[in-house]
Amino acid sequence: MKIAITGGAGFIGSNLARVLTEQPKITRIQVIDNLSTGSKTSIAGLGIDFFEGDIQDADLLDQVFRGADAVVHLAALPSVPRSIRDPLASHQANATGTLQVLEAARRAGGLQVIAASSSSVYGANPRLPKHEDLTTAPMSPYAVTKLATEAYLGAYHHSLDLPVLPFRFFNVYGPGQRADHAYAAVIPKWISAALDGRPVTVHGDGTQTRDFTYVGTVCRVLTEALLHRIVEPRPVNLAFGTRVSLLDLIPEVETATGRVVHREHMPARTGDVAHSQADSSRLRALFPTVAPVALEDGVSATVDWFRTSVMSVAPN
Ligand code: NAD
């Protein structure tokens, strides 16, 4: 099998590329990435074909998808605050970008398209757990672009019979996730702060909950979806229904780093949802053999990665 990954130099994409190189049935991996947030070093030495460029470039997409059996579409501007600051850029990268990928998949003869949507599409709908059939209520331009992503996949399936699978990712974390930019996610930011002896920043009172999903679990599901060519035009939550508050996360970070964590509180952020927990029944029915990595093991593996990869190149 030959697999293309858009955004394959990013956090989830580079983890996926690594996992796929270990699959005997997968003989070739082609990555396209414009390196806006990703880095070439994350996939260095994996023996994959790297194309530096933008998914808006239809000719380049045709090159990357030529001979491929499937594409995992991860390229996006993945930040809620950034989408509030610059909604047109988010729309261009995420919604128009998805359309470009679908068109290229169609031109390539009907590739399987697996794409990343987000739990943010549930937005202001307060019901828990989040079942895929709940009414979506995006609270940010980013969430709208992800709803557009899954709607486009559904439409290409129904009108052109394209084999598709839109996943709603929930707070993915793990090795390779950056802590050093303005829109970094909570787990890498807190691990980095704990290892540096800085306080962690809690937006709001910290009782908000998230369904944290280890990147290895996400890659396992994506790999199974590719190997078994799973097709499902309805969105599928990619999380297992674990509900952890930010305050509960602090002892996990303390145990894994061996440091006492001090916290400072800041006002809640616009566009952030209060509670998030997946209904995982659709996921479990499609992938009955995949079990999630536990939070304590995932946080511990992430701390190990920070110690070996980040601290070794940090100036102090
Ligand atoms: P990331 O920023 O690490 O990876 C995105 C990659 O896409 C980067 O390497 C970036 O350089 C590349 N990229 C961005 N725009 C591009 C473009 N126009 N053309 C080519 N490449 C482009 O983010 P991630 O956390 O790995 O997220 C991957 C996907 O999963 C995204 O679609 C994101 O919206 C989605 N997602 C992630 C999470 C999470 O918790 N990490 C949650 C929900 C959804």
Pocket test for ligand 1, best of 6, 16, 19, 33 (most atoms within 8 A of CB): 33
Residue 218 in domain: yes
Say whether both 15 and 26 belong to one domain: yes
Residue 316 in domain: no
Compute, in angstroms, the gap from residue 260 CA to the centroid of ligand 1: 32
Say whether both 79 and 199 belong to one domain: no
Say whether both 187 and 135 belong to one domain: no
CATH number at residue 257: 3.90.25.10
Pocket test for ligand 1, best of 5, 12, 14 (most atoms within 8 A of CB): 12
Say whether both 19 and 119 belong to one domain: yes
Q: What is the pLDDT along the chain (316 residues), one digit of tens a residue?
A: 999 999 999 999 999 999 999 999 999 999 999 999 999 999 999 999 999 999 999 999 999 999 999 999 999 999 888 999 999 999 999 999 999 999 999 999 999 999 999 999 999 899 999 999 999 999 999 999 999 999 999 999 999 999 999 999 999 999 999 998 878 999 999 999 999 999 999 999 999 999 999 999 999 999 999 999 999 999 999 999 999 999 999 999 999 999 999 999 999 987 678 899 999 999 999 999 999 999 999 999 999 999 998 754 443 3
Say whether both 120 and 192 belong to one domain: no
Say whether both 161 and 179 belong to one domain: no
Which pLDDT does position 314 carry in this prediction? 41
In the chain, the number of structural domains is: 2
Domain containing residue 97: 2-170+213-238
Say whether both 295 and 220 belong to one domain: no
Say whether both 187 and 233 belong to one domain: no
Instruction: Report residues whose beta carbon is within 6 angstroms of any ligand 1 atom.
Output: 7, 9-13, 32-38, 54-55, 74-78, 93, 97, 116, 118, 169, 171-172, 185
Closest ligand 1 atom to the C-alpha of 142?
34
Say whether both 64 and 93 belong to one domain: yes
Compute, in angstroms, the gap from residue 24 CA to the centroid of ligand 1: 26
pTM of the model: 0.97
Say whether both 78 and 36 belong to one domain: yes
Question: What are the structure tokens assigned to 180, written together?
Answer: 């050093």
